[in-house]
A and B are shown apart, each in its own frame.
Chain A
Amino acid sequence: MKLTPLVFAAVLLLAVAAWAAAQEPAPAVEPVVVTAAATPEEEAAVAQLVAMLPTIQPLDTSCINCHQDAELLQQLAEEPEVVEKLSEGSG
């Protein structure tokens, strides 16, 4: 049969694979078990990150609401005292 060399090769490969699998060492990494509470440094870092969250969006809504409202700004604007231009000549 023409396929004989191929079948032979397949069987050989399987045998080699089985041998290789048998040689594999046991997994080196033990599953992590949390034993201790976070250190103060770690807690501070998390707190800092949480504190930064509001900065993701502009939260100073009062500032923005007023400063984007042209009508309100006109009402609140205080005209500065007109200061006479005293200087003479191009400065």
Chain B
Amino acid sequence: MPPLEVWEKVLINADAVQKDVHGYIPCTQCHGGQNVDDKTAAHEGLVRDPSADALTACGSCHKNIAPYQEYSLHYNLAGYDTVLYQRSMPENHPVIEEGQSYHCNDCHATCGQCHISQPTSVGGGLVNGHTFTRTPSMSRQCTACHGSRVKNEYTGAHEGIPADVHLRQARMTCTDCHTGDDMHGTDYVLTGEIPQHRYDGAQAPACEDCHRDDIAIGQGNEYHDAHGTEVLSCQVCHSTTYINCTDCHLQQSDEGVPFYRLEHEELAFTIGRNPLRNSQRPYRYVPVRHVPTFPDLFAFYGEDVLSNFDALPTWTYATPHNIQLRTPQTESCESCHGNDDYFLTPDKVPEEFRAANAAVIVPFAPPLPERYEYRPGQETAPAGSTDPLDAPPVDPLDAPPGS
């Protein structure tokens, strides 16, 4: 999709607009400005994106959606505050907010950026002649923002790694799995809770929502039978190599243009302990991804801003979007059991980051339980199994056994 010309971005399809129920609302009622022929005069007091205040622009009719805008992570970006504040101290929050005001402004998703225009981060522009489309466009709206990580994984953009099976085999788009309720903040009506992070609350979606029958115990799939559904997240076996980023710096050019520099990116697949273990995510092990956070992330804006850096791991809970039926780690039981290559063993974590990552580091790859024998239809955890997590805590600074 070539980028839109400046004029194409603002070209409306008047016929389609007049057939759309929203075409009965005068342009100026939403956008301000004036209904006159001179461009400059017409644009006086113009509001480019009326849906930045959805309650005013949409709330008179969309009473089930607009009032919850402020609870939507897409709108409030609370997820970033949650992790940055935990790594910091209250007295540093204003510096973080200042940095965010330069670097995060284009990331807030308003109604318009999913239903009318392309996101601001790619320069805006009408997607469908100013009709209000029910289902957002995967390529021009969702991945315009989720462009590097999710898009590259889902579409198989990394060399040698196939696209997600849901795209290859079933042609599924983002919105086949991610619902409007998930994006609108309206889940609040059901749960009474305002999400503070993307992995808060129930999994949305859960793989089981669609695959309940495929994972039932006793169908002769030894992998499924041996682990049930609570020891490993599905992605431990069904996702593959994904991007990991380190050392991000936020900066501004001499002209004050904000930008970032990412020092290091690495493709890898790494299993760690589950840092978010709870009843809704009971897994002992999950894939973990290195996030581009860094003690000096905010160095341009202040000293020692992330003064509590070790409060959270730098390898975080991950749900990569490159699901496959078979993966290198499931070639056999022993390609995973006993194989440190796939696990976040201490040697993979630089010494200065081991304290932060204590909750996710795996002392050594768990061996296949001794005397394990497959009896179809039965979960088989034999007595005396060697479970590294049941072993006495290992000092992560110690070398792992056998290394």
- Which A residues form the contact surface with B (CB < 8 A)? 54-68, 70, 73-74, 76-80, 83, 86-91
Contact = CB atoms under 8 A, between A and B. Distances in A.
A90 B7 contact: no
Contacts of B6: 77-80
Given A67-B11, A87-B259, A90-B149, A60 B39 contact: no
Contacts of B261: 87-89
Given A54-B26, A63-B28, A67-B14, 8 more contacts: A55-B24, A58-B17, A58-B23, A59-B26, A63-B27, A73-B10, A87-B259, A89-B261
Nearest to A89: B262
Most chain B C-beta atoms within 10 Å of own C-beta, residue among A57, A74, A76, A90: A90
Query: How would you classify the secondary structure of chain B's contact residues: helix, strand, loop or mixed?
Result: mixed
B174 interface: no
A90 B245 contact: yes
Contact of A64 (B5, B7, B14, B253): B14
Interface string B171-205: 00000000000000000000000000000000000
Interface of B: 5-7, 10-14, 17-18, 23-29, 33, 35-37, 39, 42, 130, 147-149, 152, 243, 245, 248, 253, 257, 259-263, 265, 292
A70 B263 CA distance: 43
Given A67-B10, A68-B12, A89-B265, A58 B27 contact: yes
A36 to B, nearest CB: 33
A58 B35 CA distance: 11
A62 to B, nearest CB: 5
Given A90-B152, A91-B260, A58 B24 contact: yes
A63 B29 CA distance: 12
A51 to B, nearest CB: 12
B257 A86 contact: yes
Given A73-B7, A80-B6, A57 B260 contact: no
A58 B37 CA distance: 16
B135 to A, nearest CB: 24
Given A68-B11, A91-B148, A60 B28 contact: yes
A91 B147 CA distance: 8
Nearest to A71: B7
Contact of B42 (A58, A63, A87): A63
Contacts of B17: 58, 64
A89 B10 contact: no
A66 B24 CA distance: 18
Nearest to B250: A87
Contacts of B39: 66, 76
Contacts of B152: 90
A64 B27 contact: yes
Contact of A56 (B24, B259, B263): B24
A63 B33 contact: yes
B14 A68 contact: yes
Most chain B C-beta atoms within 10 Å of own C-beta, residue among A73, A74, A83: A73
Contacts of A77: 5-7
B12 A67 contact: yes
Contact of A60 (B26, B147, B248): B26
Nearest to B37: A62
Contacts of B42: 62-63, 66
Contacts of B260: 87-89, 91
A83 to B, nearest CB: 7
